[in-house]
Amino acid sequence: MGKSLKMWIVVALAVVALLLTAASLGAQGGTWVSGVTVQNLSATSDANITITFYNQDGSQAHSLSDTISAGGQKTWYLPTQVPGLGDGFIGSAVVSSDQPVAAIVNTQVPTTGTGTMENPNRVGTSTGVLEGKVGPKAYVTQIMKAYYGWNSYLAVQNAGASNTTVTVHYYDDTGTEVDTDTHAIPANASYVFRQPDNTALPSNFVGSAVIDGGGQNIAAVCNFYNAGTDHTTAQFHSYNGFTSGATKLYLPRLVKDYYNYQSGLKVQNISETSSTTVTVTYHFGGSTYVQTSSTIEPGQAWGPYLGSEGQVPELAGVSGSGSAVIESTGGVPIVATINEDNRVDPPGRGVTYNAFLDGEQTSTVSFPQVTAEYYGYSSGVQIQNVGTASADLTVTYSGQAPFAVTGIAPGESWSQFAPNAPGMTAGPGNDDYNGSVTVTSTQAIVGIANLSFRQDVDGRYGMNYGDSFAAYNGINQ
């Protein structure tokens, strides 16, 4: 085996109980499980990979090795495909490979079939953290405690070689530090900071956090979630903590009044000393609209909900799917996350993804898992041209012939619903596609993928109740 390339999977991976007990999820019972998908980014060489699972005390729980064909991907559903992990496992994992790889983690409640109104499905997706992307601090844009039924938790993994003590600094929505929380974490292990259990945080708390790794590199994932008492409050959101920022950010997908879906932004100032304002340039339907924020203090997060025109008067009367670019003033680094949810029909669905930092863009983006009518689930991909000229794309679904897309304007996004991709079999229930996608471009690009249960496209499985909506950042290479 050649040089080992490592990736940290920081959402705790569970066979029976994942990070949260039923009590911390409110009234919903059931257990939480994970699935891991790894994509081989090499187009020419098979990848020999090892996934090492760690308990919360840092001891090794299990290890598996496998081979992934060039350009291919594999998925491991932990309850049935990783029998070496015992029931009740809560922990973390590290993926090592002799080829470049990408990984995503799905966190979900494995309800029977498609769930019920009283016991709905819930799912969120985060991205494995590459070895070069861990850092001594992590920044989290949106956390909550008893906020109109919403709560959150932070899963923090020690990616260093030594034991460390991690400190979480909590900031309210005015930028005031209101609490710190510390915990020792062994090397490779993870710990879950549960905001509902933190008595120092007041009820109705909404804010942001800065996580200090105590001298070791860390990686973090935040999950925030609605009460889950029925299918209308089933939203479960996952996103990665940032370990660095930039003065310009790219957002491949925003929606406003789009089939009952609305987006929201959370932009965090990660400077320790300087305040800033940000300018958001929205792109909808070939037009641009500009919004300027109020002052954002160090550690503070600001952001509008696009479903309220009073918060974004610049978009009054605008509807549809678009993209955006965010820029800060004074050279102050920022990060941002983007939420999308449906509170009307079908209610209870939501996702979050990370804005892309300027400098992360490349001419190639890979997506480890894209589906078309796969047990009822279908995906979409969104590619944003962040270059200076019109972009032409080459899109390759694994196992399918490449096809071309031309003329994507700077700042604009191109979207595709996977069942409509060239080469997919026409007709509901005939695709059953579960593969990866790679997009190359004549300009710099970034992109995200999402998926949800679509009974209107694949009617074999009936109605799905709850949050079947998930999204993750594509991997630039």
Instruction: Residue count of the chain, please give it.
Output: 477
Which candidate, 155, 360, 348, 81, places its Cα nearest to that of 234?
Answer: 348
Rounded alpha-carbon distances, angstroms, from residue 278 to 156, 295, 331 = 28, 8, 11
In 197-292, at which residue ranges do the beta strands (DSSP E only) sit?
A: 205-212, 218-225, 236-240, 248-256, 261-269, 278-284, 287-292
What DSSP line would sit under 64-100, residue for residue? EEEEE-TT-EEEEEHHHH-TTSPTT--EEEEEEESS-
Instruction: Of 334, 212, 355, give the one whose Cα is nearest residue 274.
Output: 334
Angstrom distance (rounded) from CA 67 to CA 310: 53
455 neighbors 464 (Cβ within 8 angstroms): yes
Q: How far apart are CA 179 and CA 169, in angstroms?
A: 6
Residues 294, 297, 299, 301, Cα dihedral to 10°: -10
Residues of the chain with CATH 2.60.290.11: 5-124, 131-240, 248-357
Tell me what pLDDT residue 330 has: 97
Helices (H) and strands (E) in the chain, counts: 1, 35
For tokens 């604009």, the residue is 412
101-109 and 218-225: which strand pairing?
unpaired
State how far the Cα of 236 lies from the Cα of 376, in Å rounded to an integer: 19
CA–CA distance, 354 with 333 (Å, rounded to integer): 15
CA dist 115 and 228 (Å) reads: 12
Query: In Å, how far from its chain's centre is CA 105?
Result: 9
3-state secondary structure of 367: strand
Q: Evaluate the omega torsion of the peptide bond into residue 346 and state whether it is cis, within 30 degrees of 0.
A: yes
CATH 2.60.290.11 fits 131-240, yes or no: yes
- Where b means 16+ CB within 10 Å and e means fewer, 50-86 reads bbbbbbbebeebbebeeebeebbbbebbbbeebeebe
As a whole number of Å, the CA-based R_g of the chain is 21
Q: Using alpha carbons, list the distances in angstroms from residue 14 to 60, 83, 153, 235, 418.
A: 14, 12, 16, 20, 29
User: Which residues, 6+ apart, have CB-to-CB distance to 17 below 8 Å?
Assistant: 31, 32, 88, 90
**Tell me, what's the pLDDT at 148?**
94
Residue 29 confidence (pLDDT): 41
Question: Which is nearest to 378 in space by CA: 278, 464, 268, 299?
Answer: 464
Distance CA 1, CA 96 (A): 11
- The domain defined by 248-357 carries CATH number 2.40.50.100: no
From first to last of its 477 residues, what are the pLDDT tens digits of the chain?
Answer: 344 566 555 443 333 222 222 222 332 345 778 888 998 989 899 999 999 888 889 999 999 999 999 989 999 988 889 888 877 788 888 888 999 888 888 888 765 556 788 888 888 888 888 777 899 999 999 999 999 999 999 999 999 999 999 999 999 999 999 999 999 999 989 999 999 999 999 999 999 999 999 999 999 999 999 998 889 999 999 999 999 999 999 999 999 999 999 999 999 999 999 999 999 999 999 999 999 999 999 999 999 999 999 999 999 999 999 999 999 999 999 999 999 999 888 889 999 999 999 999 999 999 999 999 998 999 999 999 999 999 999 999 998 999 999 999 999 999 999 999 998 875 556 678 999 999 999 999 999 999 999 989 988 888 888 899 999 999 998
Q: What are residue 467's DSSP bridge partners?
A: 122
At 111 the pLDDT is: 56
CATH number of 5-124: 2.60.290.11
Collapse the DSSP code of 313 into the 3-class scheme (helix H, G, I; strand E, B; otherwise coil) and give the result: helix
Three-class secondary structure of residue 314 per DSSP: helix
pTM above 0.85, yes or no: yes
* Contact status, residue 273 vs residue 265, Cβ threshold 8 Å: no
Q: Which CATH architecture has domain 362-476?
A: Sandwich (2.60)
Give the pLDDT of residue 404: 98
Structure tokens at 256: 């406003």
Residue type for 178, please? V
Report how far residue 244's alpha carbon sits from residue 233's, in angstroms, rounded to the nearest whole number. Answer: 33
Q: Other C-beta atoms within 10 Å of 389: how many?
A: 10
